[in-house]
Structure 1
Amino acid sequence: MINNVEFTERLKKVMEYHQLSASTFADKVGVQRSSISHILSGRNKPSLDFILKVTSEFLDVDIHWLLNGKGNYPKIENSSTTPSPSLFDDTNPVSGKRIQRIVVFYNDGTFDEYKK
């Protein structure tokens, strides 16, 4: 059985980590804003559909952690001994140029900036 109070705290932690308001979080997950409000207030329990939407949208959320607090947040991915390649390390063979900065703009008006 899911503990509503603890689930709500974990959900708030996800929202804080991603710096999202309840309404922005609802939009990102694809549920009505009132659904988030009712879950956060303890009025309603989260549905399986809601939990699956959260874990599908936020890949750093482990479903076991979200449901019962077991595991880590953000989710630690298995890393291999070989470091993954970086876009910043590659030099364009034609121009000799290297990527210095990447900016990703989202449809909610926010953005992420990645620098070397």
Structure 2
Amino acid sequence: MKDRIIKVMETEGLTPAKFAEAIDAQRATISHILSGRNNASLEITVKILDRFPKLSSDWLLRGTGDMYVKGKPKEQQDLFGNTLAFPEKALVAPEPRKEIESRPPVNVTHISSPESVTVFATPEKPSRRVTKIMIFYSDNTYDTFISEKTPLPEK
């Protein structure tokens, strides 16, 4: 892709600095792409295609086909400029919504008796104690402190 970007610059008669300015990109970004340090990002590719609308995206991305699109480039559609596709439907007022008969909410009372409550006991975890502490110093020495109490029994 680097070679194709160079060809675009040569064809358009732009220096790397002018090319960066034309596509609104950092000069360093273009320099890194041209030196082979980085590949062109999607953002840079889109900026190139936006700035040069006659440039073929297939050619720029894949190197296939002609450099320029034959005929007129596709114009971007104006979101608000188009008329409605179905104007007869747009002029017809929507039918009013039918109201659904609503019923008053039913009150449900829940009475729980003490017999129905089940209490689950949580299993006890054996208590743990610190048995040994090791401290490492920057001069590659260490101290070990061992608890004088007897250790807990094994599981």
Scaled by the length of structure 1, what TM-score is found? 0.59
Q: Structure 1: which 5+ runs fail to align?
A: 1-6, 79-116
Superposed displacement of residue 75, structure 1:
2.1
| Aligned-CA RMSD value | 1.0
Paired residues in the alignment total 72
What SS is found at the alignment partner of 1:46? coil
| Deviation readout 1:92-112 (Å, 9 max, x if unpaired) | xxxxxxxxxxxxxxxxxxxxx
Overall identity of the aligned pairs, in %: 39
The superposition leaves residues 31-73 of structure 1 with CA deviations (integer Å, 9 ceiling, x where unpaired) of 0000000000110111111100000000121111101111111
Q: Does 1:22 align with 2:16?
A: yes
Provide the C-alpha distance between the structure 2 equivalents of 1:65 and 1:77, rounded to a whole number of angstroms.
Answer: 16
Which residue number corresponds to residue 76 of structure 1?
70
Aligned counterparts of 1:47 and 1:8: Cα–Cα separation in 2: 11
User: What are structure 2's unaligned runs of at least 5 residues?
Assistant: 73-155
The alignment's TM-score, normalised by the length of structure 2, stands at 0.45
* Higher RCO (CA 8 Å, separation ≥ 6 residues): 1
